[in-house]
Amino acid sequence: MEAPARLYLGIDLGTSSVKAVVMDEAGAVRANASSPLEVSHPRPRWSEQDPATWWAATQAAVEKILKEVEARRIVAIGLSGQMHGATLLDKSGNVLRPAILWNDGRSDVECAELERVPGFRAITGNLAMPGFTAPKLAWVRRHEREVFDRVAKVLLPKDYLRLCLTGEYMTDASDAAGTLWLDVNSRQWSDGMLAATGLDRSHMPQVLEGTQPAGRLRGELAVRWGMDEVPVAAGGGDNAAGAVGVGIVRDGQAMLSLGTSGVYFAVSDGFRASPEQAVHAFCHALPDTWHLMSVMLNAASCLDFTARLTGLGDVPGLLKEAEARGLAMHGPLFLPYLTGERTPHNNPHARGSFTQLGPDTDRADLANATLEGVGLGLLDGLLAVESTGLVADEITVIGGGSRSAYWTQMLADILGKRLVLRSGGEVGPALGAARLGRLAAEPDASLDEVCPMPPVTAAFEPDAARHAYFLQSRHPLFRRSYEQLKPLYVDAAAGDVLRPSLRAMP
């Protein structure tokens, strides 16, 4: 009798939800589930979540999915998650404060201080940006000293889930690279960078490769879920895991992720960096592999914003009206910097705006302007990465935004690249986490066997005339608009201090 097929559970801790998938030995997704999360913004430029909600949502998603598969057939778990978040624990493993998230912009002063650390960019391969973890700890050290003095461990979001699942303090090189504490070339913690924020290696989890086992499922959870005490892979940051999920694992392959944020991700077989372009240089979730990445903080989230602003109610409604109207030449222009920007501006104070408005502008025009503006921001990132010499002819697209054929074609025209969708791309990092789980459980399995590129389900070829229009007309206007508005963003930041006193005025 043939043995039952082995299954692999992937868990992805996103910003808006926890997603779980179960993959079989053929790489097919057998089941998926999700559980929502909410983000708190207690002050301007602040973005936080309670780690307890991560664990509650994870349990809910896993328990949903286990109703659809035989739990005993699951032989490994893989993890992925939102990067950069600072989860602060005391010596008993208790959470000390809400986690400060990747899109939090409060620590720009601390970033400037870190940039003065000798060898900073050579070690980290990156600019200091408020989204990264190290400046968040420097901020806590300055503004919440009583919390800082009690910090025993700093964990990234997915690694807090690992602690809950296994009781182990471990991470992987891809996620650790986004902290500014990692020597990205050597793939281990930098003592100098840790010391710059008042920490040392005792505060950090152990760094492993994403394909290595990093603990086993705790006995009480195994009993509750009807599983064995299976290995839990070190896993990867959400973008690295998403790349693994669609087979972006070899030098020169590239991926575009259209989630809450927008990410262009290109694989390199060696460490290279271009911090002056605000390009991120990180380790991949696979051994001896790195990647370059451009990040815009607001991508699909801009669609939610405009849908709400215009009364369309939801993103499908916005996309329907945009497609019915079509993108007009020389229409309204949208800058997508709702919570600041990373590549290429590294400006946490930047804010979104609509310009080029006329008396006949309506909500369909604003919808199209939003889709175009996000695309032009992604073009900024693509050009920054390509300035390093790492150029891809074809780009795999993943994430919720990829469900719109209208927007994906617009992006192909803006970027001037062939964009493809692949089977499984809609589950993104969770599928990559499941693949990493399999590699942890089966170290002799080949990368080609476990991480093939899934079949192409749709392809979008760029229109040469439209690309020329975007590149020669709209993109220069987009860049000039940012430069003209940039002085106003500094004044907006000062408003963070003035606003409470203004509220108190009669």
User: Which residues are known to be catalytic?
Assistant: 238
Cβ-contact 241, 80 below 8 angstroms: yes
Cβ-contact 261, 343 below 8 angstroms: no
Task: Output the CA torsion sign for 305, 101, 268, 456.
Answer: negative
By three-state DSSP, how is residue 387 classified? coil
Cβ-contact 399, 428 below 8 angstroms: yes
For residue 40, the 8-state DSSP code is B
Compute φ and ψ for 249, nearest 5 degrees: -130, -5
Task: Spell out the residues 6+ positions from residue 377 whose beta carbon is closer than 8 angstroms to its own.
Answer: 262, 296, 299, 336, 337, 341, 478
CB atoms within 10 A of CB 43: 12
Cβ-contact 167, 217 below 8 angstroms: no
Task: Spell out the residues 6+ positions from residue 280 whose beta carbon is closer than 8 angstroms to its own.
Answer: 125, 126, 178, 292, 293, 294, 295, 342, 343
C-alpha 404/C-alpha 384 separation (Å) is: 26
C-alpha 241/C-alpha 244 separation (Å) is: 5
For residue 98, the 8-state DSSP code is P
Q: Tell me, what amino acid is at 58? A: T
C-alpha 498/C-alpha 291 separation (Å) is: 41
Omega prior to 344 cis, within 30 of 0? yes
Cβ-contact 472, 46 below 8 angstroms: no
For residue 183, the 8-state DSSP code is E
Q: Which two tokens stand for residue 277?
A: 């372009």
Cα angle, residue 299 at apex, residues 322 and 388 outer, rounded to 5°: 120
C-alpha 267/C-alpha 289 separation (Å) is: 7
C-alpha 111/C-alpha 115 separation (Å) is: 6
Q: Tell me, what amino acid is at 247? A: G
CA atoms within 13 A on the CB side of 391: 8
